[in-house]
Each structure stands twice: as C-alpha cells, then as structure tokens.
C-alpha cells in the first residue's frame, strides 16, 4: 500500500505514461492469480520471458496485436465527462500498481500528485 498521507487524485498520470518497462513487470503471484481467475484477457497482455530453470520475468503491458509495449495502460478508463480515470482491473491489478507510489520522493519524481494538499 502507498504511504498513509497519500490520496490518489485519479489523475491517471501513472497509467497514461508507462515509461519504465522494467518497473512494469508482473510478479509470479500476479500471474498465478490471473491464471486462477481465468483472466485470459489480462494474460494476453503479458509477455513471459524465460530466465532458465523454469523462471520467468513477466513483462507487461505488451500488446497482443503488435507485440510492442504500450505507453498507455490498456486497463485505464476515463470516466465520462470527468477528468478522472479508473483502473478496470482494480481488484486484481499487479503488485507494482498496488504499491505505487513507493514513497513521496517516488511520487514527485514520477509526476504523481497524491501527496499534494
């Protein structure tokens, strides 16, 4: 969870600008959950990269149509007539998203307004 004095403003910045590919990898637990829940719609946006020994890095979000990573998350939805965004997979979103931002510094460095008063 993000720090306590944090309040998400639903500005969408963190999901509109997926600029750090390494930071947007899913964990083994994320992938296991999506498999258990039968979320093929999510899994088709995951690119498993074998590391050997049965280990994988799960690169996200990779377009199943082009094979390229996308700048804007496919699960982001803009609310009609509002300048606010929601995550369409909020209940099962990756650990990376659940933990964002890791700190106030991380928020400031990545353009998140969640600590502004």
Residues at the interface with ligand SF4 (CB under 6 A): 8-15, 73, 75-76, 87, 89, 93, 97, 100, 112-114
Residue 98 Cβ, how far from ligand SF4 at the closest point, in Å? 8
Residue 15 Cβ, how far from ligand SF4 at the closest point, in Å? 3
Q: Residue 56 or residue 77: which is nearer to ligand SF4 going by CB?
A: 77
Mind spelling out the 3-state secondary structure of the chain? CCCCCCCCCCCCHHHHCCCCHHHHEECHHHHHHHHHCCCHHHHCCCEEEEEECCEEEEECCECCCCCCECCCCCCEEECCCCCCEEECCHHHCCHHHHCCCCCHHHHHHCCCCCCCC
Residue 86 Cβ, how far from ligand SF4 at the closest point, in Å? 8
Q: Residue 22 or residue 50: which is nearer to ligand SF4 going by CB?
A: 22
């Amino acid at each position: 969870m993000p720090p306590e004095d944090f309040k998400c403003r639903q500005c969408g910045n963190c999901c509109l600008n997926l600029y750090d590919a390494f930071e947007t990898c899913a964990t083994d637990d994320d992938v296991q959950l999506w498999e258990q829940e039968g979320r093929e719609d999510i899994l088709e946006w995951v690119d498993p990269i074998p590391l050997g020994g049965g280990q994988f890095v799960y690169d996200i979000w990779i377009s199943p149509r082009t094979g390229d990573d996308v700048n804007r998350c496919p699960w982001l939805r803009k609310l009609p007539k509002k300048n606010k965004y929601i995550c369409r997979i909020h209940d099962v979103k990756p650990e990376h998203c659940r933990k964002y931002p890791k700190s106030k510094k991380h928020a400031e460095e990545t353009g998140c307004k969640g600590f502004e008063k």
